[in-house]
């Protein structure tokens, strides 16, 4: 599955995952958090060339609803 390529066109290898953000979901009377992770890849070909680790992070999908940002519940004073 060489769909992930380093800037030099080599196939990347996943080496780890990192928490990108958390998403809050609603189910009948239940809230649960879904954790979205990004994958970290390295390019073994570049590493062989210069001896340095070439780590590349995958893009995480954007959060649909930012977690409790400016949510007001209750009566407004008019």
**Interface ranges with Zn ion (CB under 5 A):** 6, 8, 10, 43, 45-46
Nearer residue to Zn ion within complex by CB, 20 or 43: 43
Place of tokens 């977690």: 67
* Smallest gap from residue 5 Cβ to Zn ion (A): 8
Nearer residue to Zn ion within complex by CB, 8 or 57: 8
CA 77 to chain centre: 40
Nearer residue to Zn ion within complex by CB, 34 or 50: 50
| Secondary-structure breakdown of the chain: helix, strand, coil percentages, each rounded to the nearest 5 | 10, 40, 50
* Smallest gap from residue 38 Cβ to Zn ion (A): 19
Residue pair 28/54 in contact (Cβ under 8 Å)? The answer is no
């Amino acid at each position: 599955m060489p769909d992930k390529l380093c800037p030099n066109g080599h196939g990347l290898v996943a080496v780890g995952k990192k928490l990108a953000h958390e998403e809050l979901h609603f189910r009948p009377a239940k809230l649960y958090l879904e954790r979205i992770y990004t994958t970290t890849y390295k390019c073994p070909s570049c590493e062989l060339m210069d001896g340095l680790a070439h780590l590349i992070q995958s893009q995480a999908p954007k959060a649909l609803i930012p977690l409790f940002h400016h949510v007001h519940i209750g009566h407004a004073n008019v």
